[in-house]
Structures are given as structure tokens and as C-alpha cells.
Amino acid sequence: MAVALATIVTSTLTGSMSAVADGSSIRSDHWGVIARNTIGSPVADLRDGPYGSYGVTGSAARPPYGRGSLGLAVSDDSTSLTPPSEKVDFGNEVDFYNDRVRDLTKLGFHVFQTAENVSYGGTRNLPGIRIEINPNLASRPGDTYSTLVWVPPAVAPTNQWSGYLDATVSNGEWFLSGGELAPLCTQASPCNFTTLKNSIDSDGGSPATIYTIAVGKGRDHIWVGAVDGLRINRYVYDFEANAVTARRVG
């Protein structure tokens, strides 16, 4: 039985998605490794699972959406660069381009964290969300690039899937990579998401706009695990072995 294809859907912060009219979800194209933001030979692989670990049962023992996830594996010292560490961003360079940062209202994901990852880099050794932007600050008119970085909170217990980690409330911390709002919202002095958004657009310049949105890890510690259910506003992006699917949730 043939399945009818729906039309292309385009709207602010939902992306451009080729949809299968199955009534539940739509395939979202344009996701993959962002080559210019990747260092060394890390792994970012759409995969089935992970399931478990052994002895874990219930919802924590399987990916929160579907049967797959985005598997990440990053080393700490595999290159000759300084610092000598790997980095990977898996994201979308097309669908959110020129959307306004102020229109981001929901961000977060689920993560599969292991005890080994904690031993490598501590309880907050986790992937995060990275959003490349044009900050459009009146005080720095020549500055057209920065990255909004979310560092998640510690996840417990380990060796299983976490619940949803909401990046837009008091979970984890945010900073601008270029220190544009220093001494506020820097890597040394991070802030929450509301403070960051309000501070960017209170400068008097044009609204800050998005270049890309990604899940990323590095350059720091070894990390091997998985991410699923990346939420961006009204859609949850379900990472499956054969595709990235957008599920409408609000």
C-alpha cells in the first residue's frame, strides 16, 4: 500500500521537513555531522539502542523515542592540536538559519550516561547543545559570530537513559563562546537561558539570529554514550538508525 507524501512544511523554528502522512511524525532532513566543527576522528552515528545496561528495566532501559538514538564517541587526546582533543557537532545547518534567538522557548534532550564517562571527566562530563549565532550587538557591530553553549547538569543514576533534561529552566548553564556579554554569561561565569536571551537582545542592536543548532561534545574528556529526543520548541527530534524524525509535541 502506497503512503501519500505531504507537502514541505516550513515555519519559524520547526525546520523544513519532508513529511510522510502517517499521522504521527515527519522525516526531518538536513541533519548530520557539521564537518567544519569536527576535530579528529570522533563518532556521531545514528544507531539502534542502547538498551540496558544489564539489570536496568523499564523506561530507563531503552531510548525514549522509537528504538534508536544518536551515538557519540569522543576521545580526549587523539590529535596533535592544543588542546589535543576531539570534538564533534551533529546538527542542522539549514533549517533554522536566520530564525531569531528570542523565539527559542524549549530546548533539551535525554542522554545515556555511563559510570565510565563520570570517571573520565566528572559528573558533568556530558554532551551539550550548541547554537551558532550572529549576536547582532550594537556595542560590537563587527562581531557576527558566537556560539550559545548549554552545559547540562550532572545526571544520576548512570548506565541508563536519563529523563528529559530541560535546558531552558534551571537545569545546567549557558554561555557565549566569544564572551560578548562579559562578565555575564561567559564560560567562567555562566548564566541561565532566560538571562542569556534577555541580555543579548537588551543591547539595542537587531535581534540575534541563528546559524545552526547541534548536539556536540568536546574538546575536553573522553565520552561514549548517546542522546535522543532533542527538543526544539514544538518538535522533538527523534534520532533513529535510518533517519531523524520530528515529532510534534506542543
Q: 16, exposed or middle or buried, with CB in 10 Å at 0-12, 13-18, 19+?
A: middle
Q: What is the pLDDT of residues 104-159, one digit of tens each?
A: 999 999 999 999 999 999 999 999 999 999 999 998 999 999 999 999 999 999 99
Nearest to 37 by CA among 217, 176, 231: 217
34 in helix, strand or coil? coil
Q: 8-12, 162-166, 212-216, 237-241: lowest mean pLDDT where?
A: 8-12
Q: What is the pLDDT of residues 162-214, one digit of tens each?
A: 999 999 987 789 999 999 999 999 999 999 999 999 999 888 889 999 999 99
Q: Any idea where the domains of the chain sit in the sequence?
A: 9-248
Q: Are 74 and 86 within 8 A, CB to CB?
A: yes
What's the rounded Cα separation, in Å, for the pair 167 and 98? 21
Q: Could you say which DSSP state residue 154 is in?
A: P
Nearest to 87 by CA among 56, 44, 133: 44
